């Protein structure tokens, strides 16, 4: 096979590509702009402080207990709690202005304190939530459980409201029938002990020796540690977004390669090539080289902008990073040739291919990380090349992985390149004209 003819085709395609300055600017600038936007979102909106979950709370009880619960919720760093009426809370959730609404009913404080010892029915706290934000709902519910338990137990053991409930519970216990006598004795001892503790707290308060309010607390503390692939490597949302947009736009460049082949075929260039000493293999190789060169340049400019202006760093293996970029460009070029091989008309091929590229980018985690997908979808996306490209680039950038972390994605991408290239070579439109 004569390499000179393939290189001539490569030179011709590159001259045509760079001859359209507007197309070059759009090809290079658009992925950078979109990646910067997604990176801004993934990095917490440009601030180290995470966005707080919006909560509207209606306190119809206004008891010391509910006030303490709301104070604790307001102090939680993950929540932003605003007072509201039940109607306002419901409207805010319904219109999507807030994620969760809480309505504390009248008598919640007394009923919750009694229910702690099983001597009364449990009060109903109305929990309103936006069904599109179920993850935030689960988070708020867990935080609420912690603060309610701590506040209720603190009030029972140290507050005036709790002391009244304890005395009432003792009175009801003596009048209760149908309870096993041994169980009754145990519960009486418990309540009597709580009553004596409350009495001592009251005496200490009068003497000015009040001790800190006590109750049940979380039996552990949490130390949050962000762990990346290697020690000292911090997460960078821009790294993921620039990789994602880079992969998406090299596939868009592949569409232009495939559609360009179909347009050349329609214009009669293939007829002239067939009458020349150029072989089909030389044409396919030349197109593959030009496609890989343009895709590689697009990816290099996109990721280069991320490195230069947005703090993206290759914290892991540089050889792995460069090989991943190279095989991704080759995969995109082979994908473009496959479009040319199976496309009937330029218009139809462009429409179907754009849909396919958007789908591949989405499933590969180019828009949002694949770990947010359901488990079954995460497994399914292992069958698309973009997932491997994204996982590999994530591994060697912000995760700080070594060459071994990039090796499997590189091999899989080479496999996709070979498969796409083989299909393109077998079906490449050479003999017939349009």
Is 323 a domain residue?
A: yes
Is 216 a domain residue?
A: no
Of 206, 225, 260, the domain-final residue:
206
Is 9 a domain residue?
A: yes
Of 181, 206, 231, the domain-final residue:
206
CA distance 305 to 18: 19
CATH code, 157: 3.40.1710
99 plus 168 within the same structural domain: yes
Paired sense of beta strands 126-129 and 79-83, if any: unpaired
262 within 8 A of 291, measured Cβ to Cβ:
no
Task: Provide the pLDDT for residue 433.
Answer: 45
115 plus 14 within the same structural domain: no
Is 80 a domain residue?
A: yes
93 plus 163 within the same structural domain: yes
Task: Provide the pLDDT for residue 2.
Answer: 58
For the CA atoms of the chain, what is the radius of gyration? 33
Burial of 73 by CB count in 10 Å (0-12 exposed, 13-18 middle, 19+ buried)? buried
Question: Helix, strand or coil for residue 207?
Answer: coil
The number of C-alpha atoms within 13 Å of 400 and in the hemisphere containing its C-beta is 10
189 plus 168 within the same structural domain: yes
173 plus 287 within the same structural domain: no
Is 81 a domain residue?
A: yes
88 plus 139 within the same structural domain: yes
39 plus 57 within the same structural domain: no
Is 215 a domain residue?
A: no
64 plus 22 within the same structural domain: no
CA distance 329 to 296: 5
Query: What is the count of structural domains for the chain?
Result: 2
89 plus 158 within the same structural domain: yes
277 plus 327 within the same structural domain: yes
Mean pLDDT by 10 residues, the chain (434 residues): 70 76 76 79 56 90 89 90 94 88 90 70 87 82 87 70 68 72 75 70 63 57 58 75 94 92 80 72 86 94 94 93 97 94 88 92 89 86 96 91 94 97 82 48
Of 156, 183, 206, the domain-final residue:
206
Task: Provide the pLDDT for residue 434.
Answer: 41
The number of C-alpha atoms within 13 Å of 271 and in the hemisphere containing its C-beta is 6
CB atoms closer than 10 angstroms to residue 223: 5
Domain that holds residue 133: 53-206
Is 221 a domain residue?
A: no
Is 161 a domain residue?
A: yes
Cα angle vertex 249, ends 294, 296, to 5°?
A: 30
Closest-CA residue to 111 (of 60, 57, 177, 176): 60
161 plus 13 within the same structural domain: no
The residues, ordered by sequence, that sit 6+ positions from 257 with a Cβ below 8 Å of its Cβ are: 287, 290, 291, 294, 333, 336, 337, 339, 340
**How is 14-79 classified by DSSP, letter by letter?**
HHHHHH-HHHHHHHHHHHHHHHHHHHHHHTTTTSSSPPPEEEEEEESS--HHHHHHHHHHHH-TTE
Dihedral sign from CA coordinates of 398, 400, 403, 409: negative
391 plus 254 within the same structural domain: yes
**How is 103-155 classified by DSSP, letter by letter?**
EEPTTHHHHHHHHHTTSSPPP--EEEE-GGGHHHHHHHHHHHHHHHHHHHHHH
């Amino acid at each position: 096979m004569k390499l000179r003819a393939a290189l001539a085709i490569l030179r011709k395609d590159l001259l045509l590509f760079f001859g359209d300055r507007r197309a070059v600017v759009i090809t290079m600038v658009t992925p950078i702009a979109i990646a910067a936007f997604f990176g801004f979102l993934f990095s917490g909106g440009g601030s180290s402080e995470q966005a707080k979950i919006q909560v509207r709370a209606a306190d119809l009880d206004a008891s010391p207990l509910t006030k303490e619960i709301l104070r604790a919720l307001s102090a939680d760093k993950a929540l932003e709690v605003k007072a509201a009426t039940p109607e306002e809370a419901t409207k805010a959730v319904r219109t999507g202005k807030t994620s969760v609404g809480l309505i504390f009913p009248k008598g919640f404080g007394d009923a919750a304190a009694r229910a702690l010892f099983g001597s009364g029915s449990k009060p109903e706290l109305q929990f309103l939530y936006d069904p599109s934000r179920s993850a935030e709902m689960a988070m708020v519910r867990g935080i609420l459980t912690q603060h309610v338990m701590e506040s209720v137990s603190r009030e029972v053991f140290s507050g005036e409201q709790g002391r009244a409930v304890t005395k009432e519970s003792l009175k009801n216990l003596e009048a209760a029938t149908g309870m096993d006598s041994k169980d009754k004795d145990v519960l009486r001892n418990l309540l009597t002990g709580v009553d004596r503790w409350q009495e001592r707290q009251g005496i200490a308060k009068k003497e000015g020796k009040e001790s800190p309010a006590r109750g049940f607390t979380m039996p552990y503390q949490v130390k949050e540690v962000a762990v990346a692939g290697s020690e000292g490597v911090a997460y960078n949302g821009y790294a993921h977004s620039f990789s994602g947009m880079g992969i998406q736009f090299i596939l868009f460049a592949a569409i232009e390669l495939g559609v360009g082949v179909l347009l050349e075929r329609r214009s009669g260039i293939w007829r002239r090539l067939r009458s020349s000493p150029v072989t089909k293999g030389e044409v396919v190789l030349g197109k593959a080289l030009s496609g890989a060169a343009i895709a590689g340049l697009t990816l290099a400019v996109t990721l280069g902008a991320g490195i230069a202006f947005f703090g993206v760093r290759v914290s892991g293996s540089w050889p792995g990073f460069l090989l991943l970029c190279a095989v991704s460009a080759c995969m995109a070029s082979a994908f473009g040739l496959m479009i040319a091989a199976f496309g009937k008309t330029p218009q139809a091929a462009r429409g179907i291919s754009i849909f396919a590229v958007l789908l591949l980018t989405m499933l590969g985690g180019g828009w949002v990380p694949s770990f947010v997908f359901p488990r079954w979808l995460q497994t399914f996306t292992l069958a698309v090349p973009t997932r491997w490209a994204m996982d590999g680039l994530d591994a060697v950038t912000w995760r700080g992985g070594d060459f071994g972390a990039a090796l499997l994605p590189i091999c899989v991408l080479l496999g996709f390149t070979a498969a796409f290239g083989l299909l393109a070579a077998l079906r490449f439109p050479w003999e017939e004209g349009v």
